[in-house]
Amino acid sequence: MGALMPVTAYTQLCNHVREVALLSSMESTLSWDQETYMPPRALSYRARQMSWLSGKAHAMATGRMMQKLIHQAQMAKLPEAKMTANVRVIAEEFERNARIPNRLIVEESELTAHAKHAWAEARRTSNFNLFAPHLEKLIGIARRKAELWGYADEPYDALLHAYERGTRTRELAGLFAKLKPELTRIAHAAVEKSRKVKPGLLRGRYPLEKQKLLNAEVAASIGFDFQAGRIDTTTHPFCTTLGPRDVRLTTRYDEADFTSSLFGVLHEAGHGLYEQGLPEDDFGLPSGRACSLGIHESQSRLWENHVGRSCSFWQRWLPRAAEYFPHLKKLSINDFLAAIHRAEYSFIRVEADEATYDLHILLRFDIERRLVSGSLAVKDVQEAWNALFQELFGMTPPDAAHGCLQDIHWSMGGLGYFATYTLGNLNAAQLFATARRHKRIATAMDRADYAPLLTWLRENVHARGGALLPGEVMQLATGKATDARHHLRHLHARFVA
Amino acid sequence: MGALMPVTAYTQLCNHVREVALLSSMESTLSWDQETYMPPRALSYRARQMSWLSGKAHAMATGRMMQKLIHQAQMAKLPEAKMTANVRVIAEEFERNARIPNRLIVEESELTAHAKHAWAEARRTSNFNLFAPHLEKLIGIARRKAELWGYADEPYDALLHAYERGTRTRELAGLFAKLKPELTRIAHAAVEKSRKVKPGLLRGRYPLEKQKLLNAEVAASIGFDFQAGRIDTTTHPFCTTLGPRDVRLTTRYDEADFTSSLFGVLHEAGHGLYEQGLPEDDFGLPSGRACSLGIHESQSRLWENHVGRSCSFWQRWLPRAAEYFPHLKKLSINDFLAAIHRAEYSFIRVEADEATYDLHILLRFDIERRLVSGSLAVKDVQEAWNALFQELFGMTPPDAAHGCLQDIHWSMGGLGYFATYTLGNLNAAQLFATARRHKRIATAMDRADYAPLLTWLRENVHARGGALLPGEVMQLATGKATDARHHLRHLHARFVA
């Protein structure tokens, strides 16, 4: 048998990888159905369907055929840079997977199954001791994986890499160190300023059906394509992609406050616009998927916070909202903005406002890093958490449920994940500031017309897909790697000035 | 390698067959999503997902492994009659599939893809000539398949077998011949009697959301388990099973007539109750699936017509409906029943009422049988259709769209299907009459309590699954094979007496 033509080798690899993506997309579809419409008694059979698909996808993604196809494509002289990048990323991921022995995967999945239960029970009873032994084991596994994967400076690098390829702990720590004093000052000022704002200014009756109509109008107006997506209702909002033209968002409703679902939809639609803007023809390949969690989160935060909480946005949408909810007519735009910019210290991350949110992340990054390096023992987590919380927020969680037990991430083995939320905030501010430098984009935005902004994001972020590193995408789009300056400036302008 | 233990051979075969069912159930789930919620631009990728699944399922169902497992199980001495029956049905289906060469399957699927388009265009323009060449080819394929499958008396037997295992054309023709004179008499009398009933008595405003609530109440009251099923909205109502505890119904709404969706839900819920009543643990095996289309349709017709259009049903539900739709309060129960029992001759089968419906089927059965035997040429179909229509209904379709082009079935290669609708009606009446002989069931029904009826159907029909022949199920449940008498008696009582 002669050598393959270079492009044939590449195409064969791509076909294989696309087939894995096809299987995963079916799993996503079944999972979406499970979260939205599936009747409860269907659960156990659904689990069997999904485990069949994930088993098949895993076997294809890690098998010998994959190895052979990667090798063939690596040997080939490929004519396009995109091809080379795709092969590189596919090979890297294959190698990372290949380094983890099957028994470790099994061990981890058994452990997390138990850990999730234990965590839920520990949180319910606010008893960290119930969760501590599981956390101990989870960190043990995380460390073993880090050793198998390898890292540059410290084991945490390897964990971070799973969510934010190529990002070093040291760089991140540097960024966060710069943020910390500034953020605490801004948060403090914002909370002080907010004392003048009456709480509950927006409370009222907002019928669910009308919220849905308004949300759909808003999502469509920022460019979300309902011919290639939809919005449904779930307890925990999410955005999931079931195919190259099939992006499903979900939100939840508070009948007493329409902004809860609206900002939720803007956030998820930000994720959705990114997914809808990825190169359709490359679906399933690195070049056809999102770059990283930190880039993904930059899109949701950009639309939720920079666009959705801006004055010009509400100059257009408050009058429209008041047509659905007439009691809003008596609210001035300034009162409305004051209400949605109201900041306060709170214990729970997912309920935190824009001004205090990142403090929650800084805390988690610090604790996680010390846990993984071994400089913090599991038994001391609650104490360390509370001490750091006191330092950052000036108050101490009343119990573990409001402190170190509040998040599900660790129980799922998701160490290294939290940092991407703040990276998202930093990237959002930086991308937004860069885009706004174009007069045409800024002028349109002042009229709440976001088409030019979306076009810019499409070209500079979305169309670039995921074969590049997040740092490369930021560099290409803004001329610089991720930088804390823009986010701080934004927060200062909104919450202090 | 020694011989396998008998039960091991059986279990191995079952595991394989269940895996095929698992794949098909995923395809059903994706198909359900496509009909209900999928955004339009997702279509082409969805088609790829589904064709992957059906290709995999087909390969597994027809491959050498399947053949080997069947052979092993056939050689084994199995301890239970159910096991033997399952092996027999699985082997029969495998053989039927094996007799059709792959190129014929490909030829048929290419043909139907074109034929469906041609049919839609022919119907739109009411031009039978556009569809005739396709129908010619479809009948050619049907005849070739019949020859490959083999048959007892005539090729049509082999086609019928695909939908109604073990039923002979000759028997069916005998049944239908007995029906014809009686049915035409009853239909005529019903139409005459209905002239006294003012049309449009129920027209009004029925908000969709209220219809949904009423329909759900009704479906739950007859025993549909919403923990293992749901109701959604589609243009063409259907019932599909996505797993052993996951049965999804759909309906459509007419805001001017609530009975349209309600009877639709009763019909689909009849199918759904059957599916929910099948042996859960045997899901995927012949013993865990529905017996035939004629038995399936008996369940939908029983709940829609025998239960849902009865006086005692509306004695309970008309007052409840009037709470949702207050203008119904001025309608007496007798006027309401007269309205829902109003009969008239019409050209379109799917819009036909209970009194005239079977005449549409008799016509199709006659035409199809002659087409397949060759005694009727395709070019003469329209003329034959119109002549027979005139004989049965006393009127002639104004054009082919209202005549021989109205149904999609032929364009999909579904020759032999139509008869199962009337078989369903006959079986429904026979099962209902048998169940009603139990005083406890009849008394409860008079109070619109259908729990004892459902229990009887569960035991006598549902729990028997699909390893038996439809004739055997009818024999076991009613002591006789399918018989026209009960249906005629029912129609006579409702429409003539």
Q: Looking at residue A3, what is its pLDDT?
A: 60
Distance CA A339, CA B424 (A): 63
Chain B: closest CA distance from residue A37 (Å): 8
Closest Cβ opposite residue A228 in set B41, B52, B245: B41
Q: In the predicted model, is pLDDT for residue A2 greater than 60?
A: no
CB pairs under 8 A between A and B: 92
Average pLDDT, chain A: 96
| Whole-number pLDDT of residue B3 | 60
User: A239 CB near a chain B CB, below 8 Å?
Assistant: no
User: Is A50 contained in some domain?
Assistant: yes
pLDDT given for residue A90 in this prediction: 98
Please identify, among B99, B125, B144, the residue that sits at the C-terminal boundary of a domain.
Answer: B99
- Between B42, B225, B246, which is nearest A243 by CB? B42
For residue A81, being part of any structural domain is answered with: yes
Q: A19-60, pLDDT tens digit by residue?
A: 999 999 999 999 999 999 999 999 999 999 999 999 999 999
User: Is residue A104 assigned to a domain?
Assistant: no
Per-residue confidence band for B5, with pLDDT thresholds at 50, 70 and 90 = confident
pLDDT in tens, A253-288: 999 999 999 999 999 999 999 999 999 999 999 999
Q: Given pLDDT bands bounded at 50, 70 and 90, which one contains residue B157?
A: very high
CA distance A178 to A494: 19
Query: pLDDT category, B451, cuts 50, 70, 90?
Result: very high
Q: What is the distance between the alpha carbons of residues B13 and A278, in angstroms, rounded to a whole number?
A: 44
SS3 letters across chain A: CCCCCHHHHHHHHHHHHHHHHHHHHHHHHHHHHHHHCCCHHHHHHHHHHHHHHHHHHHHHHHCHHHHHHHHHHHHCCCCCHHHHHHHHHHHHHHHHHHHCCHHHHHHHHHHHHHHHHHHHHHHHHCCHHHHHHHHHHHHHHHHHHHHHHCCCCCHHHHHHHHHCCCCCHHHHHHHHHHHHHHHHHHHHHHHHHHCCCCCCCCCCCCCHHHHHHHHHHHHHHCCCCHHHEEEEECCCCCEEEEECCEEEEEECCCCCCHHHHHHHHHHHHHHHHHHHHCCHHHCCCHHHCCCCHHHHHHHHHHHHHHHCCCHHHHHHHHHHHHHHCHHHHHCCHHHHHHHHCCCCCCCCHHHCCCCCHHHHHHHHHHHHHHHHHCCCCHHHHHHHHHHHHHHHHCCCCCCHHHCCCCCCHHHHCCCCCCHHHHHHHHHHHHHHHHHHCCHHHHHHHHCCCCHHHHHHHHHHCHHHCCCCCHHHHHHHHHCCCCCCHHHHHHHHHHHCC
| pLDDT score of A1 | 44
The candidate with the shortest Cα–Cα distance to B469, out of B142, B71, B148, B163, is B163
Whether A242 contacts chain B with CB within 8 A: yes
Which one of B27, B108, B164, B268 is the catalytic residue? B268
Q: CA A424, CA A295: separation in Å to the nearest integer?
A: 6
Residues A85 and A210 in one domain: no
Looking at the fold, whether B237 and B147 belong to one and the same domain comes out as yes
Q: Are B144 and B104 in contact (CB under 8 A)?
A: yes
> Are A496 and A446 in a shared domain?
yes
pLDDT tens digits, residue range B102-143?
A: 899 989 999 998 999 999 999 999 999 999 999 999 999 999
Cα(B233)–Cα(B211) distance, rounded to whole angstroms? Answer: 12
What's B392's domain CATH number?
A: 1.10.1370.30
Select from A99, A118, A142 the last residue of a domain: A99
Predicted local distance difference test score (pLDDT) of residue A14: 98
> How many domains in chain B?
2
Answer yes or no: do A264 and A394 share one domain: yes
Percent of chain A with pLDDT over 90: 97
What is the 3-class SS of chain B, one letter each residue? CCCCCHHHHHHHHHHHHHHHHHHHHHHHHHHHHHHHCCCHHHHHHHHHHHHHHHHHHHHHHHCHHHHHHHHHHHHCCCCCHHHHHHHHHHHHHHHHHHHCCHHHHHHHHHHHHHHHHHHHHHHHHCCHHHHHHHHHHHHHHHHHHHHHHCCCCCHHHHHHHHHCCCCCHHHHHHHHHHHHHHHHHHHHHHHHHHCCCCCCCCCCCCCHHHHHHHHHHHHHHCCCCHHHEEEEECCCCCEEEEECCEEEEEECCCCCCHHHHHHHHHHHHHHHHHHHHCCHHHCCCHHHCCCCHHHHHHHHHHHHHHHCCCHHHHHHHHHHHHHHCHHHHHCCHHHHHHHHCCCCCCCCHHHCCCCCHHHHHHHHHHHHHHHHHCCCCHHHHHHHHHHHHHHHHCCCCCCHHHCCCCCCHHHHCCCCCCHHHHHHHHHHHHHHHHHHCCHHHHHHHHCCCCHHHHHHHHHHCHHHCCCCCHHHHHHHHHCCCCCCHHHHHHHHHHHHC
Q: What is the pLDDT of residues A327-382, one digit of tens each?
A: 999 999 999 999 999 999 999 999 999 999 999 999 999 999 999 999 999 999 99
- Dump pLDDT digits (tens) for B8-46: 999 999 999 999 999 999 999 999 999 999 999 999 999
Kindly state whether residues B302 and B168 are assigned to the same domain.
Answer: yes
Residues B246 and B376 in one domain: yes
Residue B2 pLDDT > 60, yes or no?
A: no
A20 and A120 co-located in one domain: no
What's the pLDDT band for B350 if we cut at 50, 70, 90? Answer: very high
pLDDT digits 0-9 by tens, B393-424: 999 999 999 999 999 999 999 999 999 999 99
| Rounded CA separation A419/A426 (Å) | 11
| Catalytic sites of A, residue numbers | 268
Domain limit, last residue, from A42, A73, A99: A99
Q: Which of B23, B41, B281 is most worth mutating to test chain A (most A CB atoms within 10 A of its CB)? A: B41
Whether B228 and chain A come into contact, CB under 8 Å, resolves to yes
pLDDT of A131 higher than 70: yes
Q: Give yes or no for A260 touching B (CB within 8 A).
A: no
**Looking at CA atoms only, how far is residue A88 from chain B in angstroms?**
26
> Which tokens in the block code for residue B390?
């005139």
Are B140 and B44 part of one and the same domain?
A: no
Shared-domain flag, residues A220 and A303: yes
On whether the CB atoms of residues A379 and A129 are closer than 8 A, the answer is: no
Interface contact flag, B30 A25, Cβ < 8 Å: no
pLDDT band at A5 (very low <50, low <70, confident <90, very high): confident
Q: Give the integer Cα–Cα distance in Å for A448 and A443.
A: 9
Distance CA(B116)–CA(B408), nearest Å, equals 8
Residue B251 confidence (pLDDT) above 70 = yes
| B140 and B87 housed in the same domain | no
What is the arithmetic mean of pLDDT over A4-26? 94
Is the same domain home to B31 and B111? no
Which chain A residues have a beta carbon less than 8 Å from that of B48?
Answer: 22
Alpha-carbon distance of B485 to B64, in angstroms, equals 47
Kindly give the interhelix angle for B6-36 and B81-99, rounded to the nearest 10 degrees. 60
Task: Answer whether B49 sits within 8 Å of A26, measured CB to CB.
Answer: yes
Over the stretch A73-120, which tens digit does the pLDDT of each residue have? 999 999 999 999 999 999 999 999 999 998 999 899 999 989 999 999
The answer to whether residue B391 scores a pLDDT higher than 80 is: yes
Is A105 within the bounds of a domain?
no
pLDDT exceeds cutoff 90 at A195: yes
Say whether both A233 and A334 belong to one domain: yes
Q: What is the pLDDT of residue B6?
A: 79
- Please give the residue range of the domain that contains residue B80: 1-99
Query: Which residues of chain A does B230 touch, with a Cβ-Cβ cutoff of 8 Å?
Result: 37, 39
In this complex, do B29 and A25 lie within 8 Å of one another by their Cβ atoms? no
Write down the mean pLDDT value for chain B: 96
Rounded distance, CA B93 to CA A431, Å?
61
- State whether B49 and A226 contact (CB < 8 Å): no
Q: Which of B33, B44, B246 is opposite residue A42, by nearest beta carbon?
A: B246
